A = this chain, B = another copy of it.
């Protein structure tokens, strides 16, 4: 199997992951690239310099991208004996986090709809459209946690 060809394919794949992740989370593309690369790189724990070389980004960009990814809980750092710096790896349940966060964000819209109902409290006719929305998002907010609970059970 053509070694270099596969690397190209992987890099293209990383790009797709990056697009998906960045778009869905409102984060810069480069954070998605880092995350995508860390999904498939060998070894799975790499230095910032290695990652930068792999995805063709500058040291500076990587510095900020890593800070964001760490703050978001998507990536963590590990150290190795007899090595200067730090290495990065994806946390074990990154994508569960991503999905969970996304779904919870949806549910949180019920807070906004609730406020809308409050503003229109003495104009029930006009509040109808807001009420419809509120019903759905309140329902979602209730249903999301058990959904993930089932995932935990199903996948164990």
Contacts and interface: CB of A to CB of B under 8 A. Distances in A.
A11 B90 CA distance: 42
Interface in A5-40: 6, 9-10, 13, 16-17, 20, 23-24, 26, 38-40
Contacts of A17: 112, 116
B136 A155 contact: yes
Interface string A99-132: 1001101100100100110011010001101101
Interface residues of chain A: helix, strand, loop or mixed (majority): helix
A40 B122 contact: no
Contact of A119 (B9, B106, B115, B119): B9
Interface residues of A, number: 51
A145 interface: no
B99 A130 contact: no
A112 B9 contact: no
A86 B17 CA distance: 42
A26 B26 CA distance: 8
14 contacts: A13-B115, A13-B119, A20-B109, A38-B129, A39-B130, A40-B126, A40-B129, A42-B126, A93-B132, A96-B136, A102-B102, A102-B106, A139-B155, A143-B151
